[in-house]
Amino acid sequence: MHFGYLPIDDYMWALAIVFAAFAIRGMIGFGSGLISVSLLIFFLPVKEVVPIVFLLDAVASSALGSYDYKQIRWKEMPWLWAFTILGLIVGAWILKTLPAQSVTVLLGVFILIYVGYALLTKPERLPWVSRAWGAPLGFLAGLIGSLYGGGGPSIVAYFQMRHLDKRSFRASFQFIAVTDAIVRGGLYFLLGLLSAESAITAAWLMPAVGLGLVAGNFAHFRIDAKRFQMLVLLVLTLVGIKLVLP
């Protein structure tokens, strides 16, 4: 028996992976894309995995975005939003025409340097950056999002250096994620990466998304700010290592 692309044995593993990835997403607001893609490629080719995870992420972003809508920091959005879209378009072009490994390595190095700095600095002493920093960091997010389905870390760094509280952090990230889903969905369709089989596989994995988000949301309201910060940095570290290593 197959569940879309997945035979039953692989499907059970995929459910566990998706549940864990989206529990983290529900708790801290990001991480589901890169975690899911990094582990599901053990079962399926990356060109099948990325569209499946995109569909799962799109549903999760809509759910969390509607839940947290009133907490979005709209003043943070203009530079970040516009340049994320630009990055998505450039990333789709690279995906179609050029090798992209060097781009991911540079992002991984940036993330690890940022994590090291943040660990040596108390959260309240992280530097305040201007909103104009949303331009380069948003562009990086869109670029990596198109290529590998997870451009969140550079946006996370931006929001941390803008000192958003954990609820506004999660809500504002979801707004960018919804934008990402709309634009990237159109780009993937034009590139021929979305298929009926991708949608069927995503549908079979959707229960794990829902359960993961509920579990993560429950934890989100029970974790203090310091632990939230450390958990964010831990996930960023794992993502950075994944991007740097071949």
Nearest CA among 19, 13, 174, 182 for reference residue 85: 182
Nearest CA among 85, 18, 64 for reference residue 174: 64
**How far apart are alpha carbons 99 and 181 in whole angstroms?**
23
Q: Which pLDDT value is given to residue 148? A: 65
Nearest CA among 50, 60, 55, 73 for reference residue 23: 60
**How far apart are alpha carbons 204 and 219 in whole angstroms?**
25
The ranges assigned to domains in the chain are 2-244
Q: Which pLDDT value is given to residue 120? A: 67
**How far apart are alpha carbons 33 and 153 in whole angstroms?**
11
Q: Which pLDDT value is given to residue 208? A: 94
Per-residue pLDDT of the chain (246 residues; tens, 9 = 90+): 778 888 888 999 999 999 988 888 888 777 777 778 777 878 888 778 878 888 898 888 777 666 666 777 788 788 888 898 898 888 777 766 665 555 567 667 767 876 776 676 565 566 777 888 888 888 988 887 776 666 677 787 888 888 877 778 777 877 777 777 788 788 778 877 778 888 899 999 999 999 998 988 888 777 776 777 677 777 778 777 877 776
Query: What are the backbone dihedrals phi and psi of residue 201, each rounded to the nearest 5 degrees, phi first?
Result: -60, -45
Per-position DSSP letters for 174-232, written without gaps between them: HHHHHHHHHHHHHHHHHTT---HHHHHHHHHHHHHHHHHHHHHHHHHTTS-HHHHHHHH
User: Strand, helix or coil at 166?
Assistant: helix
User: Strand, helix or coil at 237?
Assistant: helix
Q: Which pLDDT value is given to residue 106? A: 63
Nearest CA among 38, 40, 51 for reference residue 208: 40
Q: Which pLDDT value is given to residue 44? A: 85
The CA-atom distances, in angstroms, between 70 and each of 82, 162, 171, 202 are 21, 18, 8, 29
Q: Which pLDDT value is given to residue 216? A: 85
Q: Which pLDDT value is given to residue 205? A: 94
Q: Which pLDDT value is given to residue 201? A: 93
Q: 3 pairs with which residues across the strands?
A: 6
**How far apart are alpha carbons 22 and 40 in whole angstroms?**
14
User: Token pair 């197959």 is at which residue?
Assistant: 2
Ramachandran sector of residue 31 (left: φ over 0; alpha: ψ -120 to 50; beta: rest): left
Q: Which pLDDT value is given to residue 21? A: 86
